[in-house]
Amino acid sequence: MTVPVRLEIELRAPDRRSRDMDNSLKALQDVLTSYNVWRDDSQIDELIVRRGAIISGGQAIIMITELTT
pLDDT in tens, 37-59: 999 999 999 999 999 999 999 99
- Asked if the model's pLDDT at residue 34 lies above 90, the reply is yes
Per-residue pLDDT for 68 more than 90? no
Domains of the chain and CATH, by start? 5-66 (3.30.1330.70)
pTM: 0.88
Region of 57 on the Ramachandran plot (φ > 0 left; ψ -120 to 50 alpha; else beta): left
Round the CA-based radius of gyration of the chain to a whole number and report it: 13
Three-state secondary structure of 2-25: CCCEEEEEEEECCCCCCCCCHHHH
